[in-house]
Amino acid sequence: MAKARPIPGLEASTRFGDAAAAAVETRTREVFGHAAGVLDTGDVERVHDMRVATRRLRSALEIFAPCFPRKPYKRALGDVKALADALGARRDPDVALERLDEIRDGFHAADGAGVESLAAELRDEQAVGNERLSAALKAVREGDLESRLIVLAEEARR
Amino acid sequence: MKARKVAKLNPEGTLGDAVRRVVAVRARELESFVPRALDPGKSKAQHDMRIAAKRLRYVLEIAAPALRQPATDGAKAAKRLQTVLGEIHDCDEMLARTQTHIERLRAEDAEALRNAATGAADIEPEAARAAPNRARYRGLESLTTYLTARRAVLFERFVHQWEELDRDGFATSLMESLSAASTAGPEVNDSEQASGSRVDGGAA
């Protein structure tokens, strides 16, 4: 899992609004820095990294909520939540499949058919999750979420 | 689970002051799930406590450069709690999923046997030998047994972790260590609140 990027210039005496701007800028760059290749089910770490980064961004938005103008904040937070939900819909079956693979390795061979039948169901769910994530990423691009978040962060400096 | 509101957060205040306010609310929120979450059957309380641990962890991570070691230590403790509660939640999810899967296979098999006996007055027990999913139940029962046992072990680990954390009062000792680490910023009073065009009290 990718470590969180350090947020530059934070001190206890930093103005709360300036800390909000720095945190949301850093976390936004982090999310979109992980966007490449997330639809590749052969490399499940990518979607995991983007999901964790999205959670951190959402958390930063919520912590610093009073620093942002209400309307664009609500819209951006809603879009970040929607992206997080879509990442979760893909990531949850990824995690369950990884776990089942580990379990199956330790089980008796005669247990394999049962575990595999559950895994097959999870792979179908993973494919559905990937389609949902693809649509969510398209919505994020078309809605220019990254730019809106950067502008929102800048507002907190005023 | 909806986060508790944090009052008196002001963009013109300092990060140190704001973080202490947010952490105080989040740490109390985490504590509020005890003793319910210490009952092994209260999976909803354990799930909500995990979300509370995550919220606390993220605010402490953001605060770490400003509030240094106490924030880093607090974030690590919250992460450990979040991790074990997350693994318990994964067991619960997988158990529910496995039960649903078994029920689906059972329904498929019963239907297949019934269809094979169309027009018959009864079904012989031997018919079950032809159930399409007959080889799958054993593995799914083993999985259920394993996950039930693993959940119990993880739950004991969670209780032990919480007892360690709460020995001196979790929220109180965290707040004391953060206060000691912070350079006190100006107190924020009600008249200094942000203008109405900003988002009201954070649900951080």
pLDDT reported for residue A41: 84
Q: CATH code at A110?
A: 1.40.20.10
Residues in A closer than 8 angstroms to B203, CB to CB, are: 62, 65
**Each residue's pLDDT tens digit, B3-56:** 888 888 899 999 999 999 999 999 999 999 999 999 999 999 999 999 999 999
pLDDT reported for residue B74: 93
**Best residue in A25, A26, A51, A64 for a mutation probing chain B (most B CBs within 10 Å):** A64
- Over 60: is that where the pLDDT of B202 sits? no
Q: Which domain, by its residues, includes A60? A: 16-155
- How many domains is chain A built from? 1
Which residues, given as ranges, of chain A have pLDDT below 50? none
How many angstroms away from the CA of B139 is the closest CA of chain A? 4
pLDDT reported for residue B64: 87
A47: tokens are 């979607």
pLDDT reported for residue B88: 98
Phi and psi, residue B14, nearest 5°: -100, 155
A2 touches B at CB < 8 Å: no
pLDDT reported for residue B199: 57
pLDDT reported for residue A39: 93
**Helix, strand, coil: what percent of chain A each, to 5?**
80, 0, 20
The verdict on residue A2 lying in a domain is no
124-143 in chain A: CB under 8 A from chain B: none
How many angstroms away from the CA of B96 is the closest CA of chain A? 12
Residues in B closer than 8 angstroms to A114, CB to CB, are: 135-143
Distance CA A35, CA A90 (A): 14
Where are chain B's structural domains? 15-192
pLDDT tier for residue B204 given thresholds of 50, 70 and 90: low
pLDDT reported for residue A3: 80
Check residue A4 and report its DSSP letter. P
CB distance B143–A114 less than 8 Å?
Answer: yes
CB distance B204–A63 less than 8 Å?
Answer: yes
Quick check: B192 and B10 in contact, CB under 8 A? Answer: yes
The verdict on residue A124 lying in a domain is yes
pLDDT reported for residue B177: 86
E strand or H helix at B5: none
**Each residue's pLDDT tens digit, B179-200:** 887 654 443 333 333 344 555 5
How many angstroms away from the CA of B7 is the closest CA of chain A? 10
CB distance A66–B202 less than 8 Å?
Answer: yes
Peptide bond into B132 cis (omega under 30): no
Residues in A closer than 8 angstroms to B17, CB to CB, are: 16
Q: Report the length, in residues, of chain A.
A: 158
A67 touches B at CB < 8 Å: yes
CB distance B18–A15 less than 8 Å?
Answer: no
The verdict on residue A65 lying in a domain is yes
**Each residue's pLDDT tens digit, B80-101:** 999 999 999 999 999 999 999 9
CB distance B62–A7 less than 8 Å?
Answer: yes
The verdict on residue A9 lying in a domain is no
**Each residue's pLDDT tens digit, B123-174:** 999 999 999 999 999 999 999 999 999 999 999 999 999 999 998 788 888 8
pLDDT reported for residue B197: 52
ipTM: 0.89
**Best residue in A94, A111, A121 for a mutation probing chain B (most B CBs within 10 Å):** A111
Which three-class secondary structure state does DSSP give residue A139? helix
The verdict on residue A26 lying in a domain is yes
Please give the model's pTM, rounded to 2 decimal places.
Answer: 0.88
